[in-house]
Amino acid sequence: MQRAYIPQIIARQPWRVILPLLALVVFGSLVLYSAAGGNIRPWAGMHVARFFVFLVMAAAIARVPQDWFKRAALPIYLVLCVLLVLVELIGGIGGGSQRWLNLGFMTLQPSELMKPGIVLVLAWFYSVLPVGEVGGWRAIAPAVLLLGFPAGLVMLQPDLGTGLAISFGAVVMMFLAGLPLRLFIGGALAGAIVAPVAFFTLLHDYQRKRVLVFLDPESDPLGSGYHITQSKIAIGSGGLFGKGFGHGSQSHLDYLPEAHTDFVFATMSEEWGMAGGLFVLAVFFLVFRWGLKVATNAPDRFSRLLAAGMTTTIFFYMCINLMMVMGLAPVVGIPLPFMSHGGSSMMTNMICIGTIMAVDRWSRRTGTGLL
Amino acid sequence: MKQKLPMTSAILTNKFERRTFVLGTAQAAVGVLLATRLGYLAVAENAKYRAASESNRVNLTLIPPRRGWVIDRRGAALAANRADFRVDLIPDRVVDPDATLATLGPLLGLSADKVSDIKTRLDKARGFQPVEVASNLDWDKFAAVSVRLPELPGVIPQRGYSRFYPTGPSVGHLVGYVGPASAEDYERERNPLLITPGFKIGKDGLEKHFEERLRGVPGARRVEATASGRVVRDLGTREDVPGKPIQLTIRAGLQDYAARRIGLESGSVVVMDCATGDVLAMVSMPSFDPNSFSDGIGRIEWKMLSEDDHVPLRNKVLRGLYPPGSTVKPMVALSFLEAGLDPHASVGCAGGLRVGNRVFHCWNHRGHGAVDMAKGIYQSCDVYFYHFAQQIGMDTIAKMARRLGLGQEFEMPYPGQSYGTVPDPAWKLRKYKKEWAIYDTVNATIGQGYMLVNPLQQAVMASRLASGLELKPRLLLDRHAPAPASMGFRQEHLDLIHSAMNEVVNGRGTAGHARLPLPDVQMAGKTGTAQVVGLNIGNGKGGQWKHRDHGHFICFAPFDRPRFACAVVIEHGGGSPSAYPIARDVMTYLFNPAKAMEALEEYEKQWGGDVRTRMRAKYDAYAARFGATAPAAPDEDQAAQEVAAENKPAPEPTAAQTDAANPAPEPEPAPIVLPSPSPAPAPVPSPAPSPTPGT
């Protein structure tokens, strides 16, 4: 094999994920370049630069031993909870919905970090839970508490999208941890009953409106339905191979809102067509297949759950974002991983990637892996 | 049971692997779902979204078509277009109307009343209905607004064409005017052109009647524009197709001359061609200036027009009904001739006619002595007509009146004409359930009582008497129209009437002052004075304006080979002397325009300038006095309704008349001192508080 000619340090890197990610990021920066009217600035250059910075961070995370992960899981979770409370307090003083803390040198969005945080703490929890308790209430109640507190705080902010992302990650963790199936079926049934009630009582007016408009975007073509309608026009008008690089009228003439962040997929589809969209889906497929493979090959329960949970978190991002831009889900502010411009989502996703890479390392060290 | 088995690590790992497989499968399924959705949007629905994207990208701006011209019989413009710079507001896009107007006011030099007019219209306008701020701007003002556009959302400056009436008020009632389309217009037509800034729709007169023909096809400018409306580049322009012109039978110069010649009076002039029935002039004065109506009716203007007791908004030619007075006498005489009366049969006039125990007075209480038909006409002797009308009967007279056009409908492209009444015994029985009485005949033969006609009908009567042809008034020029049929009168009868009417002007008649100041043309005519109120209220000559007699004159020239016929009606002019000098000068214009203009300029010096100078002076006086405090003008449709109300014909008396009218005195045959123009009638004092013109 070639491996003999390549230095160990390079050959050891998990290229199976880095290459697809690089492809996504470069493609994303091309789209951002076009969206800026053919300019590296302000988005495209920054996008690539950020990726490499966070890739270094991910590589660093990958070298952290499993012990540290286990020991840090609960403290990190607690710190994030405190930060969420702080955000709530400061937001209460400042008025309106505040989701970030200004640390002076950067703004920190604790809810964003809570997505990998909840996966980490639940992986730790189920790894320390005695095997015999998995079927009982001891396996459920603490997990529900661990989830309920931060998810409740985030929804209070109010940030429905992130709240759902955290919950989704946690529920998948419970599912994979082997909790009885009837719980999930019962939960789904309960959800089907509670959701309409929550819709009319818990949601804010603007959130309710978003859902209603999602169901019928044309009912409000210039208001909140505008986003969905324009996004569908951008994707639909692209056709098979798109209008050509730099020729997307929807994004260039400002009809498409948030063309470089949440709706970057629409911007891309307009210029690259269905072909570009399928390429993005295919690359994501490679990434998730790698993530789940790492999870199934992982040496122990903690690393298995950790890898699968992190993969799910990224998947949820992608899934909700694409459904939103194609008019299958209401407008919630969730960016597309590795393509949307934005620092904190890139950081979260790279933390997830770094963690999966760490799991990958552990399995190779113990020799159970096939890689 | 399986649950009883102790849970082991191996079982959990196995469970994890199975559930991860489920999870992976679910994720793959979502991926397939997304890919399917993508294919549906991008391929199956591609055409729909491609069209939507194009309609986003390409902004189509309609260019209002140039309106077809209205031209006179020789091709001179009565209504044309001129290139101008204009500024409009789109109410929906204006963020802060007050601030916007505060900025625009000084830039465009708008007066306070104009600003409040615009505010009123902004309040009333719906959404995308453009509101005109100013038109006919010079380049500097236009540029000043254009450079400040970023801070003036909703303000649309553009260059285009606007309607222009070279002779202004002279053609107000003839041509009508244009204005921005109303919400009702838009609802009816649903045409985006109607809410295009700068587009005007015909609101009245010919402009309204021939809207379809005059409108044309709009052009379009295609631009690529951003969501916020910034134009990125031009994609091309399609030229507009101008509307088709309409050519009238009018002579523009004559129309303007007649309008100016009416001067300070309230009246109508109609001139017809005796060979074809072409209407050469159709004037109702005072009028409005259609040029200043096109941006909507301003509050000052509305106040000025609606307070004027001379009803400038009424087209008196078609909607004014008057008792025709003695102008019917040639017609009555002709009916006598047709009935076999010997024209030399005479009656002695001693200032009245006794019928039974009643005496019906002649206007000349001293009497005319022996009167035959010719003298009856040129001296306008009432007794002659009372006497023979008793013999011949009212039915014969009424039939002749209708034959000559009185009370008849003529097809003219104007809505809401009033046709008046020619009474006869059957009509009275139907209308009032009363028998015809002697005094009814007496009234009718001197054009009083129930008889009501409009000035156009009088002109038709004059032209048919003059030519013996069945002329119909025609306003649209048609050079291939069939020649009019003969009325079937005997030429000797017509000659007799013509010479008697010639005598009125050029002989021993009632209108010596009407003689044309031309050596080779003689005009024939007939005076008429119609009472407005009974002698118990006023004598008809002085006193309150509203109580003065109407003055009538019908005429044709040259008397021996008639080419032109004319009817003049002056409301409350104090009798026929107010009418025939106008007819004389209008006729003079037809044969010698220079001479006629000379006379007119002399008059206009006394009146304080021509029509437009006087209107401007009056406007300025109103503006200085009321400024922006004048109540807002009603919107177009309200205004139209008020005008319509104003245009309702005088109501017929609901109760039957019970006595003969006292004939208004015809003027004495005055010594002929022509051609020096008689002094103009004094400016009419109006009961409404209106500032004197010229101050």
Which residue of chain A is at minimal alpha-carbon distance from B17? Answer: A296
Q: Exposed, middle or buried, A75 (CB in 10 Å: 0-12/13-18/19+)?
A: exposed
pLDDT, tens only, A73-106: 999 999 999 988 888 787 655 545 566 776 655 5
Helix ranges (H only) for B198-263 are: 205-209, 211-215, 252-262
Q: Give dist(CA B83, CA B69) in Å, integer.
A: 14
Q: How far is B1 from chain A (nearest CA, A)?
A: 14
Q: How far is B100 from chain A (nearest CA, A)?
A: 25
- Interchain pair B39, A274: CB under 8 A: yes
Model-level ipTM above the cut of 0.85: yes
pLDDT, tens only, A140-158: 889 999 999 999 888 877 7
Whether residue B656 lies inside any domain: the answer is no
Whether residue B347 lies inside any domain: the answer is yes
Query: Across A54-63, A196-205, A358-367, B182-191, which has the greatest mean pLDDT?
Result: A54-63
Q: Give dist(CA A187, CA A191) in Å, integer.
A: 6
Q: Give dist(CA A287, CA A353) in Å, integer.
A: 9
Chains A and B form CB pairs within 8 A to the count of 133
Could you tell me if A175 lies within 8 Å of chain B, comparing CB atoms?
yes
Whether residue B18 lies inside any domain: the answer is no
Write out the two tokens for B61.
């701006």
* B662 within 8 A of B361, measured Cβ to Cβ: yes
Are B498 and B358 in a shared domain? yes
Are B469 and B577 in a shared domain? yes
Are B209 and B258 in a shared domain? no
Could you tell me if A185 lies within 8 Å of chain B, comparing CB atoms?
no
**Domain's final residue, options B223, B247, B271:** B247
- Interchain pair A236, B17: CB under 8 A: no
Query: What's the confidence (pLDDT) of residue A256?
Result: 87
pLDDT over 70 at A350, yes or no? yes
Q: How far is B52 from chain A (nearest CA, A)?
A: 7
CB-closest option in B12, B35, B42 to A269 = B42
- Interchain pair B42, A172: CB under 8 A: no
Could you tell me if A16 lies within 8 Å of chain B, comparing CB atoms?
no
Give the range of the structural domain holding residue B230, as residue numbers without chain letter.
Answer: 59-247
- Interchain pair B20, A292: CB under 8 A: yes
Could you tell me if A91 lies within 8 Å of chain B, comparing CB atoms?
no
- Interchain pair A277, B35: CB under 8 A: yes
Q: How far is A288 from chain B (nearest CA, A)?
A: 8
Q: How far is B285 from chain A (nearest CA, A)?
A: 53
Contacts of A231 in chain B (CB under 8 A): none
Could you tell me if A277 lies within 8 Å of chain B, comparing CB atoms?
yes
Q: What are phi and psi of B8, to 5 degrees?
A: -120, 165
Are B241 and B365 in a shared domain? no
Query: What's the confidence (pLDDT) of residue A241?
Result: 92
Whether residue B665 lies inside any domain: the answer is no
Are B189 and B284 in a shared domain? no
* B116 within 8 A of B299, measured Cβ to Cβ: yes
Whether residue B562 lies inside any domain: the answer is yes
Q: Give dist(CA B543, CA B685) in Å, integer.
A: 10
Which residue of chain B is at minimal alpha-carbon distance from A255? Answer: B227
Contacts of A284 in chain B (CB under 8 A): 31
Q: Which of residues 197-236 of B touch A (CB under 8 A)?
A: 224-228, 232
Query: What's the confidence (pLDDT) of residue A77?
Result: 94
For residue A227, name the pLDDT band (cuts at 50, 70, 90): confident
Are B241 and B260 in a shared domain? no
- DSSP classification of residue B612: H
Q: What is the phi-psi region of residue A277: left when phi exceeds 0, alpha when psi lies from -120 to 50, beta otherwise?
A: alpha
Q: Which residues contact B75 (CB under 8 A, 6 or more apart)?
A: B247
* A355 within 8 A of A307, measured Cβ to Cβ: yes
The packing angle between helices B112-124 and B97-108, to 10°, is 140
Q: Exposed, middle or buried, B64 (CB in 10 Å: 0-12/13-18/19+)?
A: buried
Residue with tokens 């006497």: B387
Q: How far is A136 from chain B (nearest CA, A)?
A: 11
The domain locations on chain A are 1-63+208-371, 72-203
Number of compact structural domains in chain B: 2
Query: What's the confidence (pLDDT) of residue B559?
Result: 87
- Interchain pair B43, A239: CB under 8 A: yes
Across the range A241-248, mean pLDDT stands at 89
Q: Which residues contact B398 (CB under 8 A, 6 or more apart)?
A: B422, B423, B424, B427, B444
Are B70 and B103 in a shared domain? yes
pLDDT, tens only, A176-211: 988 888 888 888 888 888 888 877 777 777 777 767
Whether residue B179 lies inside any domain: the answer is yes
Are B191 and B312 in a shared domain? no
**Domain's final residue, options B218, B247, B276:** B247
Three-state SS at B55: helix
CB-closest option in B9, B37, B225 to A326 = B37
**Domain's final residue, options B626, B646, B666:** B646
Per the prediction, chain A carries an average pLDDT of 85
Could you tell me if B42 lies within 8 Å of chain A, comparing CB atoms?
yes
Helix ranges (H only) for B109-217 are: 112-124, 139-147, 172-175, 183-189, 205-209, 211-215
Are B230 and B311 in a shared domain? no
**CATH (domain of B103):** 3.90.1310.10
- Interchain pair B52, A304: CB under 8 A: no
Which residues of chain B carry a pLDDT beneath 70? 1-5, 126-127, 229, 534-536, 538-540, 542, 628, 630, 632-695
Query: What's the confidence (pLDDT) of residue A79?
Result: 93
Contacts of B42 in chain A (CB under 8 A): 235-236, 238-240, 269, 273-274, 277
Q: How far is A316 from chain B (nearest CA, A)?
A: 9
**CATH (domain of B630):** 3.40.710.10
pLDDT, tens only, A94-137: 545 566 776 655 567 888 889 999 999 999 999 998 888 887 88
Are B225 and B256 in a shared domain? no
Helix ranges (H only) for B627-690 are: 636-646
Q: How far is A301 from chain B (nearest CA, A)?
A: 7
- Interchain pair B15, A178: CB under 8 A: yes
Are B204 and B276 in a shared domain? no
Q: How far is B236 from chain A (nearest CA, A)?
A: 18
Which residue of chain B is at minimal alpha-carbon distance from A243? Answer: B50
Contacts of B228 in chain A (CB under 8 A): 254
Are B207 and B275 in a shared domain? no
pLDDT over 70 at A218, yes or no? no
Could you tell me if A304 lies within 8 Å of chain B, comparing CB atoms?
yes
- Interchain pair A304, B13: CB under 8 A: yes
* B489 within 8 A of B338, measured Cβ to Cβ: yes
Contacts made by residues A320-324, CB under 8 angstroms, sequence distance 24+? A320/A161, A320/A164, A320/A165, A321/A262, A321/A265, A322/A265, A322/B34, A323/B34, A324/A228, A324/A231, A324/A262
